[in-house]
Amino acid sequence: DTGVSQNPRHKITKRGQNVTFRCDPISEHNRLYWYRQTLGQGPEFLTYFQNEAQLEKSRLLSDRFSAERPKGSFSTLEIQRTEQGDSAMYLCASRRTGAEQYFGPGTRLTVT
Amino acid sequence: ELKVEQNPLFLSMQEGKNYTIYCNYSTTSDRLYWYRQDPGKSLESLFVLLSNGAVKQEGRLMASLDTKARLSTLHITAAVHDLSATYFCAVDYYNTGNQFYFGTGTSLTVIP
């Protein structure tokens, strides 16, 4: 296993379109996290899963955002009706309980 | 409100010099992490500090944790150009579902 992977790495979309990102965590990690990072800022927590259960969502996660982890393995993050303010790097991380988080390479979203 | 603050936000230093980056956090936690991020890249784990008084060193970087003061430091010894990056500390708050709260980041530039 080579770490956390994310696809696509870059996504350019027009305002109002829907986009979906995928994250494949390290296989033995039970926890999976999504973050958003804008230029010059630290990552901001969006949501996290323990196995297939979504246990917490940030207030940043509007109703246009939805995340799933259907079998406790990979996860998807969907943004509906994208807005220019959604342009950011979306980072996925995974961890075993109590251990450090390992980050994927990120998906850079540009909404035009 | 949970806060993680770093200072300085920007640091320009000459090769060979020493400097310290500070990370203060607002709520009790005994788990603190340091990450490095290169421009356009994801986050790379540097140190995991799991108890009061923990000190870890890797090359020219040394991190320490004082949970009573809610303070962590990242000390740079004899800086080299390759250390130029943004450094983030992150705190793990159990009461919020083990999500990480990231500091504001310190952008380090080492001048040859």
Contact between B42 and A91 using a beta-carbon 8 Å cutoff: yes
User: Counting Cβ atoms within 10 Å, is residue A56 exposed (0-12), middle (13-18) or buried (19+)?
Assistant: middle
* Mean pLDDT over each residue of chain A, to the nearest integer: 93
Contact between A101 and B33 using a beta-carbon 8 Å cutoff: yes
**pLDDT (tens digit, 9 = 90+) per residue, B19-60?**
999 999 998 776 899 999 998 888 999 999 988 889 999 999
B35, B88 Cβ separation under 8 angstroms: yes
Torsion of CA B22, B88, B33, A87, to 10 degrees: 150
By C-alpha distance, the chain B residue nearest A101 is: B45
- The pLDDT score that the predictor gives to residue B69 is 93
Nearest partner of B10 among B26, B2, B21, judged by Cα: B21
Which candidate from A42, A98, A104 shows the least CB-CB separation from B42? A104
Is residue A71 left, alpha or beta, with left meaning phi > 0 and alpha meaning psi from -120 to 50? Answer: alpha
Which candidate from A42, A48, A93 shows the least CB-CB separation from B97? A48
Residues from chain B that touch A105, judged by Cβ atoms under 8 A, are: 41-42
Average the pLDDT over B88-109 and give the result. Answer: 83
Which among A100, A108, A109, A110 is the top mutation candidate for probing chain B, defined by the most B β-carbons within 10 Å of its own β-carbon? Answer: A100
Is the per-residue pLDDT at A111 higher than 70? yes
- The pLDDT score that the predictor gives to residue B70 is 92
Average the pLDDT over B1-25 and give the result. Answer: 93
- The pLDDT score that the predictor gives to residue A59 is 83
Please give the DSSP secondary-structure letter assigned to residue B96: G
